[in-house]
Structure 1
Amino acid sequence: MEYDVVVVGGGPAGLATAIRLKQLAAERNQEVSVCVLEKGGEVGAHILSGAVMDPRGLNELIPDWKEKGAPLDTPVTEDKFLFLSKTGARATPNWALPPNFHNVGNYIVGLGNVVKWLGEQAEAAGVEVFPGFAAAEILYTDDGKVRGVATGDMGLNKQGEPGPNYQPGMELHAKYTVFAEGSRGQLGRQLIERFKLDAGKDPQSYGIGIKELWQIDPALHKPGLVIHTAGWPLDADTYGGSFLYHYGENLVTVGMVVGLDYANPWLSPFEEFQRYKTHPEIRKYFEGAKRIGYGARAITAGGLLSLPKLAFPGGVLVGCEAGFLNASRIKGSHAAIKSGMMAAEAAFDALTAGREQDELSAYPQAFEKSWLHEELNKARNFKQWFKKGQTVAVLMTGIEQLVLRGKMPWTIHRTKPDYACLQPAAECARIDYPKPDGKLTFDRLSSVFLSSTNHDEDEPVHLTLKDPSIPVQVNLAKYGGPEARYCPAAVYEFVKDDNGNDKLQINAQNCVHCKTCDIKDPTQNIVWVAPQGGEGPVYSGM
């Protein structure tokens, strides 16, 4: 299938790219063929975010979004920032909060609902949207330029052979291909390596975000309330924080982000999040409440200093695929939309000039002149300060953001990738987590059930190992088997075989596509690849 532009990924960045291309074509009376491939069974199915949304990007993309019914229904009315100890909470006065923690003017949303609406706008503009198709391979011209992608075969059995429902993948050829897979995209990772897009950059840094959706007592519901916390249950040397947002009809979204540069292999982000909910200042909202949703997703949090080169022959990276999220604001959707718009404008100009499969240098040039670059530049040191401890981080963030307004004369660099930060298990204190009570705290399997995750059990395992011996001989022996703890979906288990020897069991059907294993595995032995299109979680209203 031939297109002018193929977009891989139907999230905010990918859909913004497609919509902007069609807008430009309509404005200039030109024809541009655009398709969007989305691996989820429907647009929005794999979208997971907090989320407090800054409407700035959407204002530029679709200025009349309110009239068109965009689901941004709960404006932020109140900000709270709490520093938690095990039993206490200390609130920061609003006047002392840096600008990055002010959210009035933003909206609390279910980002999946926003993305579903964006998909409708794209289709109305003439974009061909193909949900349920996972891009599995990058196609290149003879001289090494990207010329499109191929979708994965469907209906393969566990041995990788065609089964009774086999359907071969299809090739989609494009003059330009936009990669918008989200954080730690399978194809984006390959492109960064092939074209050395991260040369001279700080190592990328990630976090895992774990989230639950609850229906709470209307008497406790405060629409528009945004609560962010730092401190307990994480120790002072572990980057992370938590959030609690009130929106919609008695809905509360609660979650935690843990930086994947943590050192102690006994730490479990999932269990830390469950502990967080037991804090007196947090659990009070959940008396008599009902948990109705669960999910987890990695976020790309390295910021401006870790942004790879954005363009290469025949394609570009946009959104969280590249890492445009502003970790200091805990926001990325506005940045994803803006990056997609800039990529679309560069691609459209190239197409109308008769160029194809060259390097869209106009895209990174536009970024460097944009408000998005200015915003990320102000926050460039945020994550790095947290590697120096919470006290230093809080002090320096206040100085940089509140006093200097982001115009600091210094830059702090990172040198170590997240996977290299784990220390040997024997050198770290074990962490004993309490058993879940099934009312406020839960286990992984009951949580995965709420994500509506589904995979065909008779298909190739999509969590691949470069060397099957490493999980036991290295990860278990040296690091205590951290994959059993960093995975939020009970995918990885160390069990005994018939001879009483340890082995790694991979329960791939539980995978919620968070990509944490691909990022945090200390030996970089686990490689996440896309399963059959349409599989994975189905996040409803998340």
Structure 2
Amino acid sequence: MSERESMEFDVLVVGAGPSGLAAAIRLKQVSPDLSVCVVEKGSEVGAHILSGAVIEPRALDELLPGWRDAPPALATPAGDDSFMFLTETRAFKLPTPPQMHNHGNYVVSLGNVCRWLGEQAEALGVEIYPGFAASETIIEDGRVRGVVAGVMGIEKNGEPGPNFQPGMELRATYTLFGEGCRGSLTKRLEAEFNLRDGVQPQTYALGIKELWEIPAAAHTPGKVWHSVGWPLKSDTYGGAWLYMFGENLVSIGFVVGLDYPNTFLSPFDEFQRFKTHPEVRKMLEGGKRVAYGARALNEGGLQSIPKLVFPGGALIGDTAGFLNVPKIKGTHTAMKTGMLAAEAAAAALAQGEAAPAVLDGYPAALRDSWVWSELQAVRNIRPGFAKWGLYGGMLNAAAETYLFRGKAPWTMGHHTDYGATKPADQCAPISYPKPDGKLTFDRLSSVFLSNTNHEEDQPAHLKLRDPALWKPENWDRYRSPESRYCPAGVYEAVGVEEGEPRLVINAQNCVHCKTCDIKDPRQNIDWCTPEGGGGPNYIGGM
């Protein structure tokens, strides 16, 4: 294998999401002479960024106080909030929980926000390399020294092909990992440095989103609408959103907690069914679907945040799990954690050769910040739904919010999502209606709208750790749940009618949501980074 070239930086940031770009900007604000590099696996900054999204501008105001003078494209001030409880045919308006009040917030394309942040970072001298997937962490003498990125041209057999590129070693004094939910390098770091010892399991949700264009007469810029209830049963956590922004654009999405028990449940099909509700249908009437995507979300909150620092690096943003679930927002907390890590790194580097290996200043500053107090106040709300279902969870949320005001003298725990799945013989099969191609759609036509593409002649980035487990576990016991929870049609159980079921993995369809890595009953599926630039390309209002 060819010898790799290397580049040296003061700080390397893995991931050009909100946390990574905020970290890079803050580093150059605090210490303009530092060399800072950001690597991003998407084909461009924002290509892999999917969100609802309503953002709270608190961290943005701290980072770039004058941002409103030249805001990102498609930033619309949030208007009135609606919080609805749905039955199959009716919608009841509920009091909006205080965490979901959006006065002063903005409905945005988060992809465009990240593109805009990338421009601010480059203007300060940050080097950004999109299409440059970090596939390996460099660890020497027990310390992270950087990453290997940009490896390309390895063929399916694992051998270098005619267009092979060995990638580069990007080395740095400190490396900040902002990979987003269930980062592939972060998984390995957690194991290498025991970062999850003593913390609660992370719990996740799958968010599926469509972007629609609707007639101008039906469009209310800034409209923020959320719902709970139908079509999910009370033992399954989830809900939906609909936001109106830009020029006649509607972001509509559906979230399902991945601790759902019924192996036959399909989050994608639940989303399609949700759109047929009379209240939802009328808001989309006359419109056209223009984009589609999906991603997993960290929902464990404060008690599931791992140890954040290790020799030579730190975890920031959603890769560590700073989403505020009751708010349905994590951009502001992700950005603030990136800023705090950047300040700690800059302070450490100022010490020269005496710079400490571990950035202890970062977790200390985090505990003194508004991020910590914000997550501390809502830590018991999500686990309440897991323990008591929808109705008990709503009562618990009300008690936590209005009675205890986030100061209950206990902290509730989480269970693993994969461990909550029941075997097929304990679950009722679910019959979903066929898509009509106008309001509801199938998986493959949806993946087409995500602009997903992977170089086909490369090793599959989705692997079974033990292929022999699939038949006795996934098929015999659970009836192939991966064929239903995947929102992109990656997994297919074939040969069923012939009595010889086997699994086919269509890795080229993958939209990088990473649900399979989370929900597989035996944790037998490993999602790793494909070649740089592969995967979805979310454009426009995504």
Match of 1:86 in 2: 88
Letter in 2 for 1:135: A
What amino acid is aligned across from residue 36 of structure 1 in structure 2?
V
Once residues 428 and 228 of structure 2 are traced to their aligned partners in structure 1, the CA distance between those partners, rounded to angstroms, is 22
Among 35, 38, 41, which residue is 1:39 paired with? 41
Q: Which residue of 2 aligns with 1:200?
A: 198
Q: What is the DSSP-based 3-state SS (H/G/I as helix, E as strand, rest coil) of the residue aligned with 2:137?
A: strand
How far does the alpha carbon of each residue in 1:172-201 deviate from its partner, in whole angstroms, 9 at most, with x for none? 111000000000000111111111111111
Alignment match, 2:13: 7
Q: Match for residue 481 of structure 2?
A: 482
1:465·1:527 contact (CA, 8 Å) conserved in 2? yes
The offset of 1:214, in angstroms, is: 0.2
Q: 1:5 touches 1:175 (CA, 8 Å); kept in 2? A: yes
Q: Helix, strand or coil: the match of 1:534?
A: coil
Matches within 5 A, 1:206-225: 206-225=204-223
1:357 Cα shift?
6.2
Counterpart CA distance in 1 for 2:435 and 2:425 is 27
The aligned counterpart of 1:255 is 253
Q: Deviations over 1:76-103 (max 9, x none)?
A: 110000000111111013xxx3210111
The structural deviation recorded for 1:458 is 1.2
Q: Distance in 2 between matches of 1:465 and 1:292?
A: 33
Partners in 2 of 1:413 and 1:509 — Cα distance? 37
Unaligned residue ranges in structure 2 (runs of 5+):
1-6
Given candidates 262, 265, 268, the residue that maps to 1:264 is 262
- Indicate the SS of the match to 2:119: helix
Is the contact between residue 453 and residue 510 of structure 1 (CA under 8 Å) also seen in structure 2?
yes
1:75-131 Cα deviation digits (max 9, x unpaired): 1110000000111111013xxx32101111110001000000000111111000000
The structure 1 residue matched to 2:57, chosen from 50, 55, 58, is: 55
| Identical amino acids, percent of aligned pairs | 59
Report matched runs for 1:496-511 at 5 Å: 496=495, 501-511=500-510
How far the C-alpha of 1:359 sits from its partner, in A, is 0.8
Q: Report which stretch shifted further, 466-475 or 130-139.
A: 466-475
Q: Is the 8 A contact 2:231 2:273 kept in 1?
A: yes
Aligned counterpart, 1:389: 389
**TM-score for both structures, normalised by structure 2:** 0.97
Cα deviations across residues 227-266 of structure 1 (Å, max 9, x unaligned)? 0000000000101110000111111100011001111100
Deviation at 1:502, TM superposition (A): 1.5
| Deviation by residue 1:378-419 (Cα, 9 ceiling, x = unmatched) | 1101111101111111112112223433232332122x2111
Aligned to 1:234: 232
Amino acid at match of 2:15: G
Give the corresponding residue for 2:408.
408
Gaps of 5+ in 1: none
Which residue in 2 is equivalent to 1:183?
Answer: 181
SS class of match (2:477): helix
Find 1:64's aligned residue among 54, 66, 86.
Answer: 66
Alignment match, 1:353: 351
Partner-residue secondary structure (3-state), 1:389: helix
User: Do the aligned partners of 2:74 and 2:245 also contact (CA within 8 Å) in 1?
Assistant: no
Between the aligned partners of 2:497 and 2:458, the Cα distance in structure 1 is 24
User: Which is worse superposed, 398-407 or 133-142?
Assistant: 398-407
User: Superposed, which structure 2 residues align to 1:97-496 within 5 Å?
Assistant: 97-142=96-141, 144-354=142-352, 355-356=354-355, 358-387=357-386, 388-414=388-414, 416-496=415-495
Post-superposition CA distance 1:250-301 (Å, at most 9, x none):
1110001100111110000000000110001111011111000100000111
Q: How many residues align?
A: 533
Tell me if structure 2 keeps the 8 A contact 1:146–1:357.
no
Decide whether the 8 Å contact of 2:214 with 2:286 is kept in 1: yes
8 Å Cα contact 1:346/1:362 also seen in 2: yes
Letter in 1 for 2:180: G
Between 1:471-480 and 1:353-362, the stretch displaced more is 353-362
Q: 2:398 and 2:530 mapped to 1: Cα distance? A: 44
- Quote the RMSD (CA, aligned, Å): 1.3
- The 3-state SS of whatever aligns with 2:201 is coil
Aligned partners of 1:53 and 1:331 also within 8 Å? yes
Distance 2:310 2:129 in 1: 25
Go from structure 1 to structure 2 and tell me whether the alpha carbon gap of 1:495 and 1:356 turns closer, same or farther (over 3 Å shift). farther
Taking the aligned partners of 2:97 and 2:75, their CA distance within structure 1 comes to: 26
Shift of 1:521: 0.5
| Secondary structure in structure 2 of the residue aligned to 1:539 | coil
For 1:410-459, what per-residue CA distance to the aligned partner results, in whole angstroms no more than 9, with x for missing partners?
A: 32122x21111111001100000010000000000000000000011111
Please give the alpha-carbon distance, in whole angstroms, between the structure 2 residues aligned to 1:119 and 1:48.
16
The 10-residue stretch of structure 1 (242-251 or 396-405) with the greater mean CA deviation from structure 2: 396-405
Offset at 1:498?
A: 12
